[in-house]
Amino acid sequence: MGAMKYTHLGRSGLSVSRLCLGTMNFGSLTAPGDAHAIMDRAHELGVNFFDTANTYGRAVSPPGQVAGNPSSHAGWTEEILGDWFATGGGRRERTVLATKLYGDMGSWPNEGKLSALNIRRACDASLRRLRTDHIDVYQMHHVDRDTPWDEIWQAMDVLLAQGKILYAGSSNFAGWHIAAAQEAAARRGLFGLVSEQSLYNLATRNIELEVLPAARHYGVGVIPWSPLGGGLLGGVLKKEREGRRRLAGMAKAALDARRDAVAAWEDLCDKLGEEPANVALAWLLHVDGVTAPIIGPRTAEQLDGAQRALEITLDADFLVKLDEIFPGYRPAPEHYAW
């Protein structure tokens, strides 16, 4: 099992690895066979927490890759996981499986969002693709402003009673959405949300205003996505100098807007003697309330490299320097008032 570390997911008794394997690349960027190898390697390393979504698998067009893979379709990633589970060997039993619903899976009404009808249909469809009888953490991929919480929790409660899901989670919620969800669940005598999956990294710290305090208050574990800021924190300048990476479009614009900060960041990591990507993960792991950053390796080698983050200790002086480069937020309202 190596040096993997574990923690409880939020206030629950569920033990999950401090790194969560993100599968969004599986299918669209990573071939199924390679995805299976990455998942096997994750288990060898002790990673037991896997995250996916019902919409993953749609075609993307990365540089140097031909667009329009005929196999690409919403649901493909879940199917890849399902095929891997079906090979046996305790793969499903050793995995804490998290998936999501909300995005449209078709053009017909009620094929997306969080109506009771879609919650029921989307769950059953995910179970078929994943080739399992239950989802461990069923996450709402986005808040649905048109569906009342009483309807959502009633539908989730049915899935819980049927044994089709064990926990409910959220993703991309505002702080007040978490509060509304938890208070509505409490009125029904339900456990409510166990986790919130948010955009969070050193360069994008908005959730520190209200989402993170709300999650801490309600015992909701935070699962950061894009922990490297789309590559911004992964040693991009060094890779650029060495000709290993050339940014374009939004990624290039993001780097150009913060080039001085990124240069200072990489210099600081050099002085520490650590890879920037691993320091960025280690920083998230030190934040109170963070359960496990989502890492999305395209290769087993990238997965191996991320394990180093578990061993890095950041002292108080280093953390102060990071805050100087990438300023964070105090909780609301103190950040903008007294």
Tell me the C-alpha distance between 144 and 117, whole Å.
14
**DSSP label at residue 220:** P
Q: In the structure encoding, which two tokens stand for residue 251, read together? A: 């990624």
According to the model, what pLDDT value does residue 66 have? Answer: 46
Q: pTM for this structure?
A: 0.95
CB-CB contact of 38 with 81 (8 Å): no
Tell me the C-alpha distance between 246 and 241, whole Å.
9
CA distances from 137 to 27, 141, 275 (A): 22, 12, 32
Q: Does pLDDT of 145 surpass 70?
A: yes
CB-CB contact of 230 with 258 (8 Å): no
Per residue in 192-213, pLDDT (tens digit) is 999 999 999 999 999 999 999 9
Tell me the C-alpha distance between 188 and 92, whole Å.
31
CB-CB contact of 252 with 221 (8 Å): no
Instruction: Domain 6-231+288-325: give its CATH superfamily.
Output: NADP-dependent oxidoreductase domain (3.20.20.100)
Per residue in 90-110, pLDDT (tens digit) is 999 999 999 999 999 999 999
In the annotation, is 56 catalytic?
Answer: yes
Catalytic residue among 56, 102, 167, 200: 56
Helix, strand, coil percentages in the chain from 3-state DSSP, rounded to 5: 40, 15, 45
Burial classification of residue 300, based on how many CB atoms lie within 10 Å of its CB (0-12 exposed, 13-18 middle, 19 or more buried): middle
Q: By C-alpha distance, which of 164, 124, 136 is closest to 49?
A: 136
